């Protein structure tokens, strides 16, 4: 039996797409061939579901240096920092402090878990920068490293060094793979493996009528929605602005903002609610908070919206919408165009363009036959290209190869 230890280092008090993706992958693994363990850097709501799968969950404490300090508000400090040699020295000093205070202590703790789990392979779930302590722990224990890259981060010499010690970089999309190659990442192997959604997990357990009644949305009203943790780059503000334009043409259209507030997004969430009130949309825009019944809530929508304002590495909510039979509108940046063919399996709009989003929503609401055709095509597309069985087969082969080398 091959023993895989998954490491998910995200913090912020929410369950994001990175952890959800690993959870679905674990659900699909053949338990007669694989044993899975999970390391988290903070408690997560998903832990009971992992334990129901007989996945042991470990918590590794990692101290975080504060990102903000008083000098940042000093104009003199900012001018001094702008001097290239001084700025480089300050960055190097912070990197050294981060290594000594954050990463090495966390690596020692993680190495103890790797030994306890007798891991054959470690799957780092957050890329080369966020998982640098995980890479150090694997080097300490001589454990093969699979590093899952899920973003378009800036890479330097440290990350290039880390990549050369990695057995396989698993990139969520071709866009991410190309970014890694341009940045000089040189692992032993690099593969694109699309994430998947376990369709068995996605079946709604309640009717749209029940969900809408709970949320105050009439059954005869059009309803669009965005599911994702509330933080600025996810673009909830763009959807709210678009809804103001939609309301002028189709009064009575409702909108659900589905998701918990990331710790880094509290000020943004407050401003978002204020803007909703300012636009006179309180009756029509509903903030649901974190929902465990995401399939039920998304199942009650007429249109699923993805509105990220910076390049989205993948966009799990897009697949969820497709598999639930909903037309999906998404921003055309990052890896998203690999998931959607405009006009056939969904609709693409420019990032941050509330006017284009509003126009597309109105076109879909005004053309139900087109919406049904696109939603049906998208469901088949998602099942063919983003199935859990495909992801599990590809990742299983990567784990086996890493153990043998």
* Tens digit of each residue's pLDDT (9 = 90 or more) over 90-148: 566 767 778 888 899 999 999 999 999 999 999 999 999 999 999 999 999 999 999 99
Distance of CA 180 to the CA centre of its chain: 18
Q: What is the CATH classification number for the domain harbouring 293?
A: 3.40.50.2000
334: CB partners within 8 A, 6+ apart: 152, 173, 175, 308, 310, 311, 312, 313, 314, 315
My answer on whether 261 and 117 are in the same domain is no
Note whether residue 144 is domain-resident.
yes
Q: Please give the distance of CA 341 from its chain centroid, rounded to a whole number.
A: 21
Same domain? 49 vs 173: yes
Q: Looking at the structure, tell me whether residues 184 and 210 fall in a common domain.
A: no
Nearest-angstrom CA–CA distance, 376 and 40 = 37
Do 304 and 356 have their domain in common?
A: yes
Helix residue spans in 324-367 (DSSP H): 354-366
Number of domains in the chain: 2
pLDDT band at 199 (very low <50, low <70, confident <90, very high): confident
Q: Are residues 397 and 355 in the same domain?
A: no
Residue 216 and residue 256 in one domain: yes
The pTM score is 0.86
84, pLDDT greater than 70:
no
pLDDT category at 201 given cuts 50, 70, 90 is confident
Looking at the domain assignment, is residue 90 inside a domain?
A: no
φ and ψ at residue 312, rounded to 5 degrees: -85, 125
The pLDDT of residue 75 is 61
pLDDT for 96 = 77
Question: Residue 373 sits in which domain range?
Answer: 203-385
The reply to whether 161 and 244 lie within a common domain is: no
- The answer to whether residue 79 sits within a structural domain is no
**Is 81 inside any structural domain?**
no
How do strand 328-331 and strand 347-349 relate by DSSP bridges? Answer: parallel
Q: Residue 60 corresponds to which tokens in the numbers above?
A: 């590794």
Q: Are residues 398 and 341 in the same domain?
A: no
- Quote the pLDDT of residue 42: 93
| Same structural domain, 60 and 147 | yes
Same domain for 277 and 400: no
Cα distance between residue 308 and residue 28, in whole Å: 28
- Residue 80, in any domain of the structure: no
Kindly state whether residues 120 and 179 are assigned to the same domain. yes
Q: Are residues 234 and 288 in the same domain?
A: yes
Q: Confirm whether 88 is domain-assigned.
A: no
- The reply to whether 7 falls in a domain is yes
Q: Would 245 be classed as within a structural domain? A: yes
| pLDDT score recorded for residue 70 | 52
């Amino acid at each position: 039996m091959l023993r895989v230890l998954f490491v998910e280092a995200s913090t912020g008090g929410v369950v994001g797409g990175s952890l959800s993706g690993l959870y679905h992958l674990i659900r699909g693994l053949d338990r007669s061939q694989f044993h899975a363990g999970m390391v988290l850097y903070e408690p997560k709501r998903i832990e009971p579901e992992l334990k129901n799968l007989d996945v042991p969950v470990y918590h590794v404490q990692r101290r975080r240096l504060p990102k903000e300090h008083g000098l940042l508000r000093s104009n003199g400090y900012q001018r001094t920092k702008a001097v290239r040699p001084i700025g480089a020295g300050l960055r190097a000093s912070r990197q050294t402090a981060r290594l000594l205070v954050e990463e090495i202590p966390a690596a020692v703790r993680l190495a103890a878990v790797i030994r306890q789990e007798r891991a054959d392979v470690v799957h780092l779930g957050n890329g080369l920068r966020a998982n640098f302590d995980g890479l150090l722990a694997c080097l300490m224990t001589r454990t093969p490293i699979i590093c899952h890259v899920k973003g378009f981060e800036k890479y330097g010499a440290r990350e290039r060094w880390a990549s050369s010690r990695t057995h396989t970089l698993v990139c969520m999309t071709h866009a991410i793979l190309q970014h890694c190659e341009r940045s000089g990442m040189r692992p032993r192997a690099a593969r694109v493996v699309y994430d998947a959604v376990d369709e068995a997990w996605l079946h709604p357990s309640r009717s749209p009528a029940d969900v809408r009644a709970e949320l105050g949305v009439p059954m005869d009203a059009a309803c669009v929605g965005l599911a994702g943790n509330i933080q600025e780059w996810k673009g909830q503000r763009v959807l709210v602005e678009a809804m103001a334009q939609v309301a002028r043409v189709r009064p009575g259209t409702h909108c659900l903002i589905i998701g918990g507030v990331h710790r880094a997004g509290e000020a943004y969430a407050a401003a978002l609610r204020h803007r909703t009130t300012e636009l006179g949309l309180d009756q029509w825009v509903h903030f649901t908070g974190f929902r465990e019944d995401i399939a039920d809530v998304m199942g009650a929508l007429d249109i699923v919206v993805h509105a990220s304002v910076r390049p989205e590495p993948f966009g799990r909510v897009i697949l969820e919408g497709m598999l639930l039979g909903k037309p999906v509108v998404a921003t055309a940046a990052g890896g998203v165009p690999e998931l959607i063919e405009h006009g056939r399996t969904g609709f693409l709009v420019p990032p941050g363009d509330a006017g284009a989003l509003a126009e597309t929503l109105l076109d879909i609401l005004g053309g139900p036959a087109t919406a049904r055709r696109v939603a049906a095509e998208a469901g088949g597309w998602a099942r063919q290209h983003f199935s859990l069985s495909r992801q599990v087969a590809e990742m299983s082969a990567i784990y086996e190869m890493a153990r043998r080398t």
